[in-house]
Structure 1
């Protein structure tokens, strides 16, 4: 019992000493000898609008919220009626969500199926929930003629319904 009391006393003294030293040395933490506080000249506070403005100056365009027509970067839900073809612009991404789709191409090349790692040429079935990339204009997707309903797709980029 006496040994336990001695160990507890030594532990209490060590903890108390550590706390006392820590409270006496409560200076600001310095990195590489430079002390700065947020908002000072060494560490200015920058707002999101300022960063967006500077990025827009560098890139020559707008950032966030403002987009130019035809370059919207948000996914859009599009319904393709039976008998119509969704013609995608260059660089457009499409995901077929509902319905059976057929690939369309005006030339021998096809549509890049990024999920499956394949090239979908004209007349091939497009798998649902696969990300498709249209490298050039003149390519698109249309509903399978054997189904009565159209398609529901997600589109990121420019497109037209023909």
Structure 2
């Protein structure tokens, strides 16, 4: 049998390969499974993230539930239909937009001014008639709003408001 001669270079290469393999195994075992350094995503990590997102969504939905005394139609920028009976008052926050669609209503102003009729470029003062289909903006949060004169007042509202009897 022929004896193989071992060269020092071949031995060095084999030892280097073995050390690299052992080093990779040790390195891989030190990483926490499911951590940001782990390239594989585990089921528990995904379930944890889903639970965090579910909690966030539930928290946001519960903070904007209907049934509170004040309305807020700022969600999504949509206009909300609001019905008023005779004598009811809609008191709006600053920046609230109001459009009278049906019925008769008058303005409620404050000592600082009235409601801004953007369509007619005028200021509507206390007890002045709200014109139908005009965009009305409440400039300040100081008690301004609209009072219904009839039972069939229908408003489109975007913004925060309260309804008082």
TM-score scaled by length of structure 2: 0.53
1:155 aligned residue = 157
State the distance in 1 between where 2:135 and 2:110 align: 20
Distance 1:112 1:88 in 2: 13
Mapped contact 1:110–1:120 kept (Cα < 8 A)? yes
Partner of 2:131: 127
Q: For the aligned residues, what is the CA RMSD?
A: 1.7
Higher Cα Rg, which structure:
2
- Alignment-derived partner of residue 4 in structure 1: none
Please tell me whether the aligned partners of residues 108 and 121 of structure 1 are also in contact (alpha carbons under 8 angstroms). no
Give the CA deviation at 1:81: 1.3
Structure that is richer in helix per residue: 2
Equivalent in the alignment of 2:144:
139
Gaps of 5+ in 1: 1-65
Q: Does 1:109 align with 2:113?
A: yes
CA displacement 1:121-156 (0-9 Å, x = unmatched): 111111000000001111000112xx4x24100000
Contact 1:94 1:132 in 2 (8 A): yes
* Alignment CA distance shift 1:85-1:128 (3 Å): same
Aligned residue pairs, count: 93
Structure 2 counterpart of 1:95: 99
- For residues 83 and 143 of structure 1, the distance between their equivalents in structure 2, rounded to whole angstroms, comes to 5
Cα offset, 1:106, TM superposition = 2.9
TM-score w.r.t. the length of structure 1 is: 0.54
Whole-Å Cα distance in 1 between the matches of residues 148 and 128 of structure 2? 12
